[in-house]
Amino acid sequence: MINMIQFLEQNPTLVTLLKEKKASLVGVTELEQKAILESYDEEFCLNNRIWQ
């Protein structure tokens, strides 16, 4: 999972494609993908005290 997140950090355009549902992560459940994408959502991070 960490390797995938590192890859997404190096390829931010892929995050955009995932959010637009034009790409998917092989071997990742829908719930896991949702959690990964939420971690890239600035508003979510700002409102979630865990990240502060």
Residue 17 has a pLDDT of 93
Q: Which two tokens stand for residue 51?
A: 């990240």
Q: What is the mean pLDDT of each run of 10 residues along the chain (52 residues)?
A: 84 90 90 87 56 48
Q: Write out the two tokens for 40.
A: 């890239």
